[in-house]
Copies of this chain bind each other. A is one copy, B any other.
Amino acid sequence: MQGSDSSGIDQRFQVRRLELSDKNKGFIELLQQLTVCDSVTDKDFEDRFHELSSLGDDHVIAVIEDDQSGMIVATGSVFIEKKFIRNCGKVAHVEDVVVDANTRGMQLGKKIVGFLNDHACSTGCYKVILDCNVDNRTFYEKCGFKQKEVQMVKYFI
């Protein structure tokens, strides 16, 4: 039974890349569960969407649409930084991972992070990094990460 449950969840919650129409499926409202995210006009959303899409595999936003409700219930992004160090290596930066409060406990966060990790690996990055608050450390350890450095921040506004 466990097997069929798990496969049912896999069927219901599939990871794919963000699409323009996701704005009407609660994508912005989901981001509002993460941090300050004012409502975005359709024009601003389209402009930013196309700007990011033009970066191709160098900037990917993953989402999970709930097959039952048609709403976006999880998201996370990854972008690829190109360096001179490590033999002109590449590093993947994971950002803005959030799972809808109503669908937590179904491993959707792990699914999103796994998708982003796979993308980072397949594009030849030598590592993937992210910053999180201490409370989320255990979750990322389950996703294969280890704590390494500290994050420093300077706000302009």
Contacts and interface: CB of A to CB of B under 8 A. Distances in A.
Contacts of A153: 127-129, 145-149
A125 B153 CA distance: 12
A121 interface: yes
Interface string A124-142: 0111111111100100110
Contact of A81 (B79, B121, B134, B143): B79
A104 interface: no
A40 B134 CA distance: 38
B121 A156 contact: yes
B129 A152 contact: yes
* Closest 4 pairs between A and B when the two form their complex, measured CB to CB: A145-B152, A149-B151, A131-B149, A37-B85
Interface of A: 27-28, 31, 34-38, 40, 44-45, 47-48, 51-52, 59, 79, 81-88, 93, 95-96, 117, 120-121, 125-134, 137, 140-141, 143-157
